[in-house]
Structure 1
Amino acid sequence: MFVFETFEPGKLIGRRNMVLGRDLVEQWLTLFPADRDGDTMPPGMMAAVYIRAYSDILVPRPPGNVHGQQLFTVNRMPKIGDELVTELSCEGKELKGDRRWVRFGSETRRADGELMFSGLMTTLWAK
């Protein structure tokens, strides 16, 4: 179980590979048709790529975590068909009263190593 004490600032937690398939992008575009941009992944999907990695890597985790804030920095948007590798790390953690805050950093690269985008998400951790 990933609990607050588990996280070590500066440490890699894990990585997840995924292929940015046309079917996945089309599912997104069903909800957000204005996001269509040829063979380029819509920018809004950065959060979806991140949360898939987060959900697969941080298992098991306690119920009740609350997403507090997120920020993405874009180097280049991936293309449909790219294999993406997202690494998740602990960037920091702190206790504020009885609240446990954890900052997760991510880097999403193509399989050839080119950085696509990075992110920082702050979460109120349940336990």
Structure 2
Amino acid sequence: MHDLWTYDRFEENAALGECAVSLDERQLALWRSAGGCVTPPPDDGRVAPPSGLLVALAMRGYLSIVEPRPPGNIHASSVLRWGMASVSVGEPLLVRVICLSKTIAKGRRWVSLLVKLVNRDDALVLSSELKMVWAA
């Protein structure tokens, strides 16, 4: 088990880690079972993954990289930015997490993290800047 991610462990502009995530038929089935829509494939038979599923995969990567987390963190905001890369089901994807900044304001510990989802060519699929009030 790793050490708890406390505010003091974060370093500004530092990579926190990366992990592979799976965009496969199993993930699409889970998405459908949760009520998510999947657009039928065009004539070429390739299913374009739903944007919400891509966000969920990026967050799954963040959760596996930055763990264990202290209880009581507050996810205050997210800013999503879509890259130009497209992906298809079965394609390997990678999640990278970077600490952008950390500050203390009004007695609260704020951490800003950048979560990037990239395809096999290292092209940006999406990025999400997470602003968190860190509990410990």
- The answer, yes or no, to whether TM exceeds 0.5 is yes
- Alignment deviations for residues 92-119 of structure 1 (CA, whole Å, 9 cap, x no partner): 1111122111111021111222221111
- Quote how far apart the aligned CAs of 1:78 are: 2.1
**Higher radius of gyration, 1 or 2:** 2
- Quote how far apart the aligned CAs of 1:82 are: 1.0
SS in 2 for 1:34: coil
Which amino acid letter does the alignment assign opposite residue 54 of structure 1?
Answer: Y
Change (3 A) 1:71 1:35: farther
- Quote how far apart the aligned CAs of 1:25 are: 1.5
Equivalent pair of 1:29/1:36 in contact (CA under 8 Å): no
Residue of 96, 102, 119 corresponding to 2:105: 96
**Cα RMSD after superposing both structures:** 1.5
Question: For residue 2 of structure 1, what is the aligned residue in structure 2?
Answer: 5
- Quote how far apart the aligned CAs of 1:40 are: 1.0
State the alpha-carbon separation in 2 of the partners of residues 33 and 4 from structure 1. Answer: 35
State the alpha-carbon separation in 1 of the partners of residues 78 and 28 from structure 2. Answer: 22
Q: Give the stretch that moved more between structures: 74-83 or 95-104.
A: 74-83
State the alpha-carbon separation in 1 of the partners of residues 107 and 116 from structure 2. Answer: 30
**Structure 1 unpaired stretches of 5+:** none
- Quote how far apart the aligned CAs of 1:37 are: 5.0
Equivalent pair of 1:77/1:117 in contact (CA under 8 Å): no
1:108 aligns with 2:117: yes
Equivalent pair of 1:10/1:89 in contact (CA under 8 Å): yes
Question: For residue 47 of structure 1, what is the aligned residue in structure 2?
Answer: 55
Runs of 4+ in 1 over 3 A off after TM superposition: 32-35
Aligned residues: 127
Equivalent pair of 2:37/2:50 in contact (CA under 8 Å): no
Q: Calculate percent identity across the aligned residue pairs.
A: 24
TM-score computed with the length of structure 2 as normaliser:
0.85
State the alpha-carbon separation in 2 of the partners of residues 60 and 33 from structure 1. Answer: 29
SS in 2 for 1:69: strand
Q: Give the stretch that moved more between structures: 54-63 or 86-95.
A: 54-63
SS in 1 for 2:51: coil
Which amino acid letter does the alignment assign opposite residue 92 of structure 1?
Answer: S
Residues 13-92 of structure 1: pairs in structure 2 closer than 5 A: 13-36=16-39, 38=41, 39-75=47-83, 76-92=85-101
**Structure 2 unpaired stretches of 5+:** 42-46
State the alpha-carbon separation in 2 of the partners of residues 13 and 33 from structure 1. Answer: 30
